[in-house]
Structure 1
Amino acid sequence: MTRRLELEIGPVAHGGHFVARHEGQVVFVRHALPGERVTAEVTEDDGRFLRADAVEVHLASPERVEAPCPYAGPGLCGGCDFQHVTLEEQRRLKAAVVSEQLQRLAGLERDVVVEEVPPSDGLAWRSRMQYVHLPDGGLGLRKHRSHEVVEIDHCLIAHPAAREPEDGVVVEQVETSTGTGVLEVAADGFWQPHVNAPRTLVECVLEMVDVQPGESVLDLYAGVGLFAAFLAHAVGPAGAVVAVEGDKAASRHSRANLASYPWARSVAGRVDRVLHRGVGAADVVVLDPPRVGAKGQVVRAISDLGPRAVAYVACDPAALARDIGYFAEQGYALADLRVFDLFPMTHHIECVALLVPEAR
């Protein structure tokens, strides 16, 4: 029997849901907004807390809008968390999550602004999609935290030229204010999904670290060498770039993408192990770890190199905040933080943090 609760919705929480309480128990509610009164349908009960979907709204937030996609909502496609929220409020909610994680995990009080990235309507931005191909030839997407499939005719956040994972290699062109790069990447390999993400992140990292000709740069979790290629161009023949990537296929592509820069090399191997073996000096370190973050061992190894600047690209604010705390223990302070809305209509964001040695 379906269990329904009458709830008053509290603040946003990391993960695309909002916090409410029922008889002292925490309830994480999707499809709601702070200040709303809703009827919520319980979807999970693990004993410690409940998960629920707001299925009726009795007192609506002024920031609530009708979802542009007919497949967004309770019990439907799980890809978008925030289609019922104005874009401006989506960014404010995401900023609140980043601020809360920094305070809770790194002990930092910081006002955060989430920056808009075109397209400004928050739709048609996703360059890669993974559909479920149905027996009748139709397409589907999965429900939230489920293997169940919702059949769709079109995904509104998919770019018209969005690719699906396949065998082979594709070439991505990245245009930035400092030049244009052509990168080779496996068709089913990792690539930033927002059509404007590569340009946005490369420009941000280059501006933050202000790398100079002749410097040595270490690019960790380098993927196919997106940052490494532009960093190699910036340091020039008198400099050096080492790109470290654990995925062998991505590392092979990185080697090909850096071939025109003899002063740049790609190293295949787990980042922690490569750092333990030694990679030489580093004036600047750039890292873009997976969602779990870099963790303490890697942070300590980076700090031991004594770089003048560290640019940390992160898709998970909790992992980033935890690692900023680890950097602080090693004498590195957060000097700058930019947050980009590279996943509109969802709870996801991308952060770029600049860490520098604390003044002594």
Structure 2
Amino acid sequence: MTERPDWTGRRLEVEIGPVAHGGHCVARYEGRVVFVRHALPGEVVVAEVTDDAGGGFCRADAVEVLTAAPGRVSPPCPMADMALGRDRCGGCDWQHASGETQRELKAAVIAEQLQRIAGIDWPVRVQELPGGLLRWRSRSRLAVDRKGRAGFRAHRSHRVIPVEDCPITVEGALAEVTNRRWRPGAELTVAADSTGDVHVTAVDHKPQRRHGRAVARQVQGSGVARESAAGRSFDVEVQGFWQVHKAAPDAFTEVVARLAAAPVGGVAWDLYGGVGLFAAVLAEQVGPAGSVVLVESSKRAVEDAVANLRDLPQVSFRAGTVEAVATDEDLSAPDVVVLDPPRKGAGRDVVESVTARRPARIVHVACDPAALARDVGLFAERGYRMTELEAFDAFPMTHHIECIALLEPVDPD
């Protein structure tokens, strides 16, 4: 068998085909698939191969546009300039596309994933959140290079690209980290909360020994971010989970409330409940005579949720994995289940545990369309079908998307 030559570094003139999940488009060259970043469907570009592990595909970056698509624009961030080549920041995927084009591409990705993985043909429209394409990101993670400079990593690389600012991040939020030097190798978390305060946490991953284990050492303070959404205040540990788009918490709680429609006096489960954002909405719907069970694996998040919802006695809290808690027969069967799993999705065990209780409505919040499609397919095996879907461009300039789906039993009792 003839070994395929390594194309890394080779420049190919290709016609760009459809968008694919992951922030790139599909092209073909000499019988191989080429996943091209920084291009748009319909364009003709020169693409430099950046990663070739052999086999039927390789990865490339567009380095010259020969025929541009109508949706192409000049990137607003200098770190996305095509002239930088491999020194481009890896944080954004679609700086070269207009906002309308980005949303069309994301809608195509969601529709393709649902059709290919779940076998569902569903028309998708991705909605824009308030605030536009820039200055929406309230939370960022940065790395520190060997010279102590903060920045973001290059695409599919550990290499750090130093930056002075990031135009998708809240104005001024990065000034606390980019105007000074840090310990090389540290990782930084920056959170700009609803009050305007900016919190910076640095963790030094230089190995230290504690009880025989290598541990990370905190080198600059932590704290509590104070957020507001759905007419309430929430305290969130700086490194804990909160939606990164400033407008997302209010938008998502409004949709979750409408789709959940938990009955007065009913029972609701909030799985992967975090610091209590969706549980607060469900508690208002079921009222004092109802009950809401919040399940969350992070003990710190549960502590924050207990404090945030102290005025809602109808909410109870379970610290543990959803897989373990959802099978507890002592829990009352829910009328409504809201789940907001991590990027990998809920998975078969959670889907089977939830559907075994036969809730009337399941609201699935998903930040990955492939994981959503997999879960929708699993729900279908258990007699639930997707009846509504709302998609949001909650991460402009990147390939990420947020979807909220309603699933209902095919044959309701």
Normalised-by-shorter TM-score class: over 0.9
Distance in 2 between residues matched to 1:285 and 1:310, nearest whole Å: 5
Equivalent residue of 2:365, what SS?
A: strand
Distance in 2 between residues matched to 1:109 and 1:164, nearest whole Å: 44
| Matched residue type, 1:153 | E
Distance in 2 between residues matched to 1:88 and 1:336, nearest whole Å: 23
Moved more, 155-164 or 242-251: 155-164
Partner of 2:166: 155
Moved more, 134-143 or 222-231: 134-143
Does structure 1 residue 322 correspond to structure 2 residue 411?
no
Distance in 2 between residues matched to 1:34 and 1:288, nearest whole Å: 32
Does structure 1 residue 139 correspond to structure 2 residue 150?
yes
Contact 1:132 1:139 (C-alpha < 8 Å) held by counterparts: yes
* Greater relative contact order (CA < 8 Å, ≥ 6 in sequence): 1
State how 1:70-109 maps to structure 2 within 5 Å.
Answer: 70-73=78-81, 74-75=85-86, 76-109=88-121
Distance in 1 between residues matched to 2:298 and 2:280, nearest whole Å: 18
Equivalent residue of 2:386, what SS?
A: strand
Does structure 1 residue 54 correspond to structure 2 residue 55?
no
Distance in 2 between residues matched to 1:50 and 1:304, nearest whole Å: 43
Aligned counterpart for 2:224 among listed residues 152, 162, 169? 169
Partner of 1:7: 14
Q: CA RMSD in A?
A: 1.5
Contact 1:246 1:270 (C-alpha < 8 Å) held by counterparts: yes
1:208-245 deviation digits (Å, cap 9, x = unpaired): 12222211000001111110122112211100000001
Number of residue pairs matched by the alignment: 355
Partner of 2:216: none
Equivalent residue of 1:130, what SS?
A: strand
Contact 1:9 1:19 (C-alpha < 8 Å) held by counterparts: yes
Partner of 1:31: 38
Contact 2:199 2:225 (C-alpha < 8 Å) held by counterparts: no
State how 1:154-233 maps to structure 2 within 5 Å.
Answer: 154-160=165-171, 161=173, 162=192, 163=198, 165-166=200-201, 167-174=222-229, 176=230, 180-233=231-284
State how 1:286-297 maps to structure 2 within 5 Å.
Answer: 286-297=338-349
Contact 2:302 2:319 (C-alpha < 8 Å) held by counterparts: yes
Equivalent residue of 2:270, what SS?
A: strand
Distance in 2 between residues matched to 1:156 and 1:119, nearest whole Å: 13
Partner of 1:269: 320
Contact 2:145 2:151 (C-alpha < 8 Å) held by counterparts: yes
Moved more, 137-146 or 93-102: 137-146
Residue 136 of structure 1: how far off its partner (Å): 6.6
Residue 62 of structure 1: how far off its partner (Å): 1.1
Partner of 2:287: 236
Contact 2:338 2:363 (C-alpha < 8 Å) held by counterparts: yes
User: Which entry has the higher C-alpha Rg, 1 or 2?
Assistant: 2
Contact 1:291 1:319 (C-alpha < 8 Å) held by counterparts: yes
5+ long unaligned stretches in structure 1: none
Distance in 2 between residues matched to 1:165 and 1:129, nearest whole Å: 10
Distance in 2 between residues matched to 1:165 and 1:353, nearest whole Å: 34
Residue 260 of structure 1: how far off its partner (Å): 1.3
Partner of 1:259: 310
Does structure 1 residue 63 correspond to structure 2 residue 90?
no
Residue 168 of structure 1: how far off its partner (Å): 2.1
Name the TM-score, length of structure 2 as normaliser. Answer: 0.83
Residue 23 of structure 1: how far off its partner (Å): 1.1
| Closer, same or farther: CA 260–289 of 1 in aligned 2, 3 Å | same
Name the TM-score, length of structure 1 as normaliser. Answer: 0.95
Residue 138 of structure 1: how far off its partner (Å): 4.7
Distance in 2 between residues matched to 1:30 and 1:238, nearest whole Å: 53
5+ long unaligned stretches in structure 2: 1-7, 174-191, 193-197, 202-221
Contact 2:199 2:223 (C-alpha < 8 Å) held by counterparts: no
Residue 164 of structure 1: how far off its partner (Å): 5.2
Taking only the aligned residue pairs, the percentage that are identical comes to 53
Moved more, 261-270 or 160-169: 160-169
Moved more, 66-75 or 126-135: 126-135
Partner of 2:398: 346
1:239-279 deviation digits (Å, cap 9, x = unpaired): 00000011111122122222211111110001001112232
1:310-343 deviation digits (Å, cap 9, x = unpaired): 0000000001011101111111111100000000
Distance in 2 between residues matched to 1:46 and 1:260, nearest whole Å: 56
| Matched residue type, 2:129 | V
Contact 1:181 1:230 (C-alpha < 8 Å) held by counterparts: no
| Closer, same or farther: CA 170–87 of 1 in aligned 2, 3 Å | same
